[in-house]
Amino acid sequence: MSTRRDFIQKLSLPLMAMPFAASAANELEKSGFTAPKITPSTVADGPVLRVALMGLGGYCNMVAKAIQACPRVKITALVSGTPAKLASWGEKYQVPESSRYNYSTVDQIKDNMEVDAVYIITPNALHKDNAIQIARAGKHVIVEKPMALNAKEGKEMIDYCKKAGVHLLVGYRMHFEPKTLEVVRMRREGEFGKILFFQGLSGFVIGDPKQWRLNKALAGGGSMMDIGIYSINGARYMVGEEPIWVTAQETKTDFVKFKEGVDETIQFQMGFPSGAVASCLSTYALNNLDRFFMDGTKGFAELKPATGYGPIMARTNKGEIEFPHVTHQTVQMDEMAKILLDGKQPIIPMDGEEGLRDLRIVDAIYEAVRTGKKVKV
């Protein structure tokens, strides 16, 4: 039986794409594929989103626990390469054996009418192929960030999901966090005046040197492909513009832990059409960061911590922003149910196009590090 560990070992030798992925879009067009119609179950508050979880690791455990508090989301299937996890998770979340899949049987999920969407929480390098596989099965795709290894892969995922007639969402949990949304509201209504500057600090000291996040073939990089995404995405929704250029500098102090192609620390700068600038840091070597600061001609906003699991702390020139803390993943999953089943439009997008915008900036940052030049986005 093929396992997730088998995939990871094979990918790290070098990384090999799954056979179906190379010409996925062409294959789909030629086949005349039509995604099966999803008919979700309902509760008093509306239809329930029935979700399969793929990749039963640490963060997936957080998501699974959070879903238990979601009135409109239910775990109905599991995908893992570890039989023991399938058994224990299946018992814990009352998922029948018939809805437990490994990586060689997951294609069968197309016949499971109790699954509307699959949440992919696997290493970055697997996201594209996992997403295409799920789209082929006619299920909506939810994928963790970063959406893919680069913009090229991200575009392939978007195109394939469109042709399959399924939605593609990215796990941007901060897009539903109340204090974050209040800052965005204030900025949109002009309460900070013209935005001039943003600072985003994202980082922590990473642990186990053998984990997949420090494997170039699986992660696609280092801190930038993990925690750095938060400062990129945060700059965009805080400033309210798309950057037009980036510059970047890499610092590496541990060449054993952070091998070639695995960034330890990157400082990067972004310029926006209005003239606003951003100064950001992504690192796997420093704690006590997690801060967003935005300055305008009429005021400022600070989030510190800005992206941790909570509670988020926020203040502006007008004082503290107060909202009760609710587990981010619980809010995210219920909001995803509204997007997929009710057609709700979120205040800050979280679709594939949003993920692609971040990946284009990541690509530009790595290019700026490599060349030492200002790179257009």
Q: Where does the pLDDT of residue 310 fall: very low under 50, low under 70, confident under 90, or very high at 90 and above?
A: confident
pLDDT score of 343 more than 70: yes
pLDDT (tens digit, 9 = 90+) per residue, 229-255? 999 999 999 999 999 999 999 999 999
- Give the pLDDT confidence score for residue 10 in this predicted structure: 45
pLDDT at 282 over 50: yes
Catalytic residue among 103, 230, 284, 366: 230
The structure's pTM equals 0.90
DSSP 137: T
Tell which of 170, 192, 210 closes a domain.
170
Residue-level pLDDT at 13: 43
Indicate the range of 43-57, 71-85, 225-239 predicted with least confidence: 43-57
Determine which one of 74, 85, 139, 145 is catalytic: 145
Q: What is the pLDDT of residue 19?
A: 35
Say yes or no: 118 and 180 in one domain: no
Q: Which residue segment(s) compose the domain that 33 sits in?
A: 4-170
235 and 318: one domain? yes
Averaged pLDDT of the chain: 91
Interval 106-131 mean pLDDT: 98
Give residue 46's pLDDT.
Answer: 79
Is 230 an annotated catalytic residue? yes
On whether the CB atoms of residues 85 and 56 are closer than 8 A, the answer is yes
CATH number at residue 292: 3.30.360.10
d(CA 371, CA 364): 10
Shared domain check, 77 and 52: yes
CATH number, domain containing residue 104: 3.40.50.720
**pLDDT tier for residue 65 given thresholds of 50, 70 and 90:** very high
Would you place residue 14 in the very low, low, confident or very high pLDDT band (cuts 50, 70, 90)? very low
Q: For the residues 358-372, what does the mean pLDDT come to?
A: 98
Are 210 and 356 in a shared domain?
A: yes
Per cent of the chain over pLDDT 70 is: 88
Question: How many of the other CB atoms lie within 10 Å of CB of 197?
Answer: 14
Residue 345 forms part of a structural domain: no
CB contact set of 255 (below 8 Å; sequence gap of 6+) = none
For residues 354 and 376, what is the distance between their CA atoms, to the nearest angstrom? 18
pLDDT at residue number 42 = 53
Range in 33-47, 139-153, 320-334 the model is least confident about: 33-47
Q: Please give the C-alpha separations between residue 18 and each of 35, 101, 152, 345, in angstroms, as whole numbers.
A: 21, 18, 16, 33
Please check whether residues 162 and 178 belong to one and the same domain.
no
Domain tally, the chain:
2
Measured from the Cβ of residue 56, the count of other Cβ atoms closer than 10 Å reads 21
Flag whether pLDDT at 87 surpasses 90: yes
Write down the residue that tokens 């959070």 correspond to. Answer: 66
pLDDT of residue 262: 98
